[in-house]
A and B are shown apart, each in its own frame.
Chain A
Amino acid sequence: MVSNTSGRSSFVDDLARVYWTYALSFAAFVMLAAILEQVGVPNRVLGYLFVFFTLGAYATIGVLARTMQVAEFYVGARRIPGFYNGMATAASWISGAMFLALPGVMFTLGWDGLAFILGLGGGFVLIAVLIAPYLRKFGAYTVPDFLALRFGGWPARLVAVVILLCCSFAYLTAQIYATGIIAARFLSIEFETAVAIALVTMVISTVLGGMRSLTWSQVAQYIIIAIALLIPAIVTSLELYGNPLPQIAYGEALTEIARLETDMVLGGLAQPGEFTPHLQPFATLGERNFIALAVCLMFGTASLPHLLMRFFTTRSVRQSRSSVAWALLFVVLVLSFAPVYAAFAKLEIYGAVIGANVAALPDWVATYSGLGLVEVYGLTAEAVTAHMAAVSAAIAAGAGEAGAVAARLDASAAAAWNGLAAPVQAAIFNALDESPTVAANDVWRRAVLAAAVASGNFSARLPLAEFHIARDAILIAAPEISGLPFVFAGVVAAAALAAALSTANALLLAVANTMGHDIYYRTLDPEASTAKRLAVSRAFLIVIATGAAWLAMHRPGDLITLVAWAFSLAASGFFPALLLGIWWKRANSWGAVAGMIAGFGTALGLLLVTEIAPDFAIDVLAMTPIAGGPGALADQSAEAVLTGARIAPSAAPVGWFGLSNIATAIVGMPVGLLVMLVVSLVTPAPAAALRAFVDDIRLPRGRSHMEEERAAERVREFGRQPG
């Protein structure tokens, strides 16, 4: 692939050529799929095509990357350029759950949703200035490795490993869960099977990949994510405002939304308290929770090991800084689409759906209702389709009227049927009685009309209270709302899979490295050979991934909340030790170990108490119940709608000063910081050698600590210095 003889620039040019070819062939593939859709190829087949094309592309790039590594070997040690490393970092940091849920979160929370945008972006500033260059100079394999060397020995390493495993495990579970949901929805397979497939794909790609080749497939995954977000937004923006820059054009949409909100209230379609005013700051989260959430996401971003690990692989300390800058640019590019999609969706829903005749709602509403993602008057087209099958069977068995259907159904179908109002039953029955081949969407429209009239709404204009859309549908439905073919929903799904896969790979690699390096090599068997260490880390990887998949099958709760907890746990456990380890020479091992345990313990304890024992929290810890707040996030999550079970809000409604547990780091991190300061000061100062070590990582110049150690190790293993 790459026959590289003329140095660095041609290597980078080759990379650019590979990725352009790849991006163009993806675009060509989407066009082909759009044509196939017009010819009448079923959506399910197209779904499979998308999954196989994208997975095949990542695999191909992974194999190409191995060839490139060989080429690279011959022209010397130039590793991953900052630009590409930034792209790969962005891909491993944008998780599937976040990608899918953020536009919906913005839709639900309005202005307050910007806490996610600010918080998720802001953390990169901290990484660039406070952490990344110094970890790169140290040349660590893993975050616990750095902490162990800086804070002298196994207690720091052990505590760090436990923290890393806890937050990575929660995050990994969320990724596998998200992948399972997407695959189940778009490939129409069982949720459990989809989770198993997700597990196998993630494990194989991580085991075959390794850090460098993963980086190249993550760049490919970022490109898919960006394409999936760019195209529908640009098309909508051009249609509505003739402006190809959606991030600029949506300002107009925002003011229009505010006008439509007033119109809805004046027109009697909504009560003032029924919806979140989209533009009003602090209307849902409140000022305190908004800031707490943003702060936790910032410090969490700066502490998550699978993200920090990316900056160990840059070419130089200098490149590690520019890598962070590029990563932030690419992350902000993706994040900035979330409010755009939320605004366009709200504009469409408030303008064209609410107040429209319920029997003549736009087609996309019927389409996504057929997927169970939109509910009108308590009815989804998906549910109506299920009733139709039952009613057809009952008619064939001789039922002459709607009232006679239930007697001819089995118990569960009869119970569901009896849950419908009589006029709705009659509408479905009559539609099928007139014509057995009537389309499901038409039956659904008639059923919804019957329900509206039965509730006394004789004008049949849809009020806001009777329209529900699953949070994650905001993004998936966006292409169709803007008039693009259904096939673009497949592009969005492929992008969500790419986001979940790249994050899962990074997490699995972080876990595997830590188990193989920190636990096995550094602690259990310091004489182990490189091959043996690799084998052990892969075995651990499979065990951990299987455990996360097992938990994912048990549907652990709201995804975005799960992810936010991982950020809080990482910030409370790692941030004080990382910060003071680099910036305060007086910090010693007692302080670090105590600080990590105290910070992480406080955050985890708060989470457990508020989740499991809210009564105890109120009685003994003097917490108070929180009204509204981020708990409302869980209500409309797609997984709640998709998996059929409406999960109770998992962000528990108790806390101190009205602070939700979605942001426990706001307590945990200061506790960790304080404990580390105090314990360090009352115990002896670190030895002179350690202070010299800190001085050393503060200077970009010179060999890294680990390079020297690796050279010594090679001497031991092979009896000589190579080359």
Chain B
Amino acid sequence: MVRGDRAGYWRATRRLMLAVVVLWLAFGIGATLVAADLATALFLGWPAAWMLAGLISPLAMVGLVFWFADRQDRLDRDYGMAEED
């Protein structure tokens, strides 16, 4: 990567965006589709369907946004596009 390469910076940003959106789809919608098949399963004493939609998915989304913020910061710095503050 080259500092000041605007096109390269935007390509990398777009790739990161797509990765996050795919993960978001997987945790936000995908998880609930799987849940129907887990209706009676148990996991660590929890009903597995509930654990997936009620605990794992929301936590995964929190983690996803923190991860994204960190990655994008690194992109900004690496390409020399970060703010001066």
Taking the closest CB of chain B, its distance from the CB of A708, in whole angstroms, is: 15
Contact partner of B17 (CB less than 8 A), chosen from A124, A129, A279, A701, is A129
Whether the Cβ atoms of A128 and B58 lie closer than 8 Å is: no
Q: Does A332 contact B (CB under 8 A)?
A: yes
Q: Would you give the shortest CB distance from B27 to chain A, in whole angstroms? A: 8
Q: How far is the CA of A306 from the CA of B66 in the complex (A)?
A: 23
Identify A129's interface contact among B32, B50, B58, B68, CB under 8 A.
Answer: B68
Determine the chain B residues whose CB is within 8 A of the CB of A298 once the complex forms.
28
CA distance A317 to B45 in the complex (A): 43
Known A700-B82, A701-B81; judge A254-B50 contact (CB<8 A).
Answer: yes
A329-372 near B? 1/0 per residue, CB < 8 Å: 10010011001000000000000000000000000000000000
Shortest B49–chain A CB gap in Å is 5
Does A294 belong to the interface (CB within 8 Å)? yes
Interface of chain B, main secondary structure: helix
Answer yes or no: A508 CB below 8 A from chain B CBs: no
Whether the pair A125, B29 counts as a contact (CB closer than 8 A) is no
Q: Does A625 contact B (CB under 8 A)?
A: no
- CB closest residue in chain B, given A120: B58
Count residues on chain A whose CB falls below 8 Å from chain B CBs: 49
Closest 5 CB pairs of A and B: A251-B46, A321-B69, A122-B28, A325-B65, A114-B53
If A122-B24, A251-B47, A280-B39 touch, does A329 touch B32 (CB 8 Å cutoff)?
no
B69 CB contacts on chain A under 8 angstroms: 128, 321-322, 324-325
Residue of B nearest to A248 (CB): B55
* Interface residues in B32-69 (C-beta closer than 8 Å to A): 32-33, 35-36, 39, 42, 44-47, 49-51, 53-55, 57-59, 61-62, 64-66, 68-69
What residues on B are CB-neighbors of A117 within 8 Å? 53-54, 58
From B39, B45, B83, give the contact of A279 (CB < 8 A): B39
Min CB distance A699 to B, Å, is: 5
A287 touches B36 (CB 8 A): yes
Quick check: is B73 within 8 A (CB to CB) of the other chain? Answer: yes
Q: Is the CB of B65 within 8 A of A318?
A: no
Partner of B32, one of A255, A281, A325: A281
Which residues of B sit under 8 angstroms from A124, Cβ to Cβ?
61, 65
> Which residue of chain A is the closest to B47 with respect to CB atoms?
A279
- A selection of 12 A-B contacts at a CB cut-off of 8 Å is A247-B55, A251-B50, A255-B46, A279-B39, A281-B32, A281-B39, A282-B36, A298-B28, A321-B68, A339-B50, A698-B13, A701-B83
- What is the CA–CA distance of A701 and B73 in the complex, to the nearest angstrom? 12
The reply to whether A251 and B72 form a contact with Cβ atoms under 8 Å apart is no
Contact between chains at A332 and B61 (CB < 8 Å): yes
Which residue on chain A has the smallest CB distance to residue B16?
A129
Task: State whether the Cβ of A252 lies closer than 8 Å to any Cβ in chain B.
Answer: yes
Q: Which residues of A contact B6 (CB under 8 A)?
A: 695, 699
Given contacts A332-B59, A700-B82, contact A318 B53 (CB under 8 A): no
- Asked whether A281 lies within 8 Å of B65 as measured between CB atoms, the reply is no
Q: Are B82 and A701 in contact (CB under 8 A)?
A: yes
Residues of A within 8 A of B35 (CB): 111, 281
- The residue among A111, A125, A287, A328 with the most chain B CB atoms within 10 A of its own CB is A125
Question: Is B36 a contact partner of A295 (Cβ separation < 8 A)?
Answer: no
Interface residues contributed by chain B, number (CB under 8 Å): 47
Q: Which residues of A have CB within 8 Å of B58?
A: 117-118, 121, 332, 335-336
Check: A553 CB closer than 8 A to any chain B CB: no
What distance in Å separates the Cβ of A551 from its nearest Cβ neighbour in chain B? 33
Distance in Å: Cβ of B69 to nearest Cβ of chain A? 4
Looking at the assembled complex, report how far the CB atom of B14 sits from the nearest CB atom of chain A, in whole angstroms.
8
Is A36 an interface residue, CB under 8 A from the partner? no
A328 touches B61 (CB 8 A): yes
Q: How far is the CA of A379 from the CA of B45 in the complex (A)?
A: 39
Q: A111-B53, A117-B54, A118-B32 are in contact. Are A258 and B24 (CB under 8 A)?
A: no
Whether the pair B45, A252 counts as a contact (CB closer than 8 A) is yes
Q: A118 contacts which of B28, B82, B83 (Cβ < 8 Å)? A: B28
Using Cβ atoms and an 8 Å threshold, which residues of chain B touch A339?
A: 50, 54
Chain B nearest CB: distance from A321 CB in Å?
4
- Name A137's closest neighbour in chain B (CB-CB): B83
- Across-interface contacts of A695 in B (CB, < 8 A): 6
Q: How far is the CA of A466 from the CA of B80 in the complex (A)?
A: 68
Residues of A within 8 A of B32 (CB): 114-115, 118, 281, 290-291, 294
A sample of 6 more A-B contacts (CB under 8 A), given A325-B68, A701-B82, is: A111-B53, A117-B58, A125-B64, A129-B17, A129-B20, A279-B49
B54 proximity list for chain A (CB < 8 A)? 114, 117, 336, 339
Give A329 to B69 CA distance when docked, in angstroms: 13
> A121 contacts which chain B residues (CB < 8 A)?
58, 61-62
Shortest beta-carbon distance from A432 to chain B in Å: 48
A298 to B81, CA, bound (A): 30
Q: How far is the CB of B32 from chain A (nearest CB, A)?
A: 7
Residues in B neighbouring A247, C-beta threshold 8 A? 55
Chain B residue with minimal CB distance to A319? Answer: B85
Q: By CB atoms of chain A within 10 A, which of B47, B82, B84 has the most?
A: B47
Interface check A690, CB cutoff 8 A = no
Which residues of B have CB within 8 Å of A399?
none
